[in-house]
Amino acid sequence: MSRVVSVAGSRAARKTFTYSVMHMAVAIAVAFVLSGSWVVAFSIGLIEPLVQTVAYHLHERAWGQDDGSGEGRSREMSDSPASPLAA
């Protein structure tokens, strides 16, 4: 349990959290300017960052498979499928 608390209090965790809040605020503001509706703005502004987070994770996994530098895992050595959509 102490590991969870120490990670949650880390600079990286705080930075990630504040970036997420900023991302949502910007998304809401842009959606409001484009739509003129707070309902639409909050809908887009809350959903888009969540979808973007998943997309970023998948992007990082794809790049981590084999980045050409020898630091990423190759497909042959990976236990997971090459594509998150593969069964």
Residue-level pLDDT, tens digit, the chain, 87 residues: 555 555 557 888 898 889 888 989 999 999 999 999 999 999 999 898 888 888 988 998 898 876 565 555 544 445 555 555 654
pLDDT of residue 38: 97
One DSSP character per residue, 28-79 reads HHHHHHHH--HHHHHHHHHHHHHHHHHHHHHHHHHHHH--SSS-SPPTTT-S
pLDDT of residue 82: 58
pLDDT of residue 80: 55
pLDDT of residue 25: 93
Nearest CA among 66, 87, 86, 84 for reference residue 76: 66
pLDDT of residue 79: 54
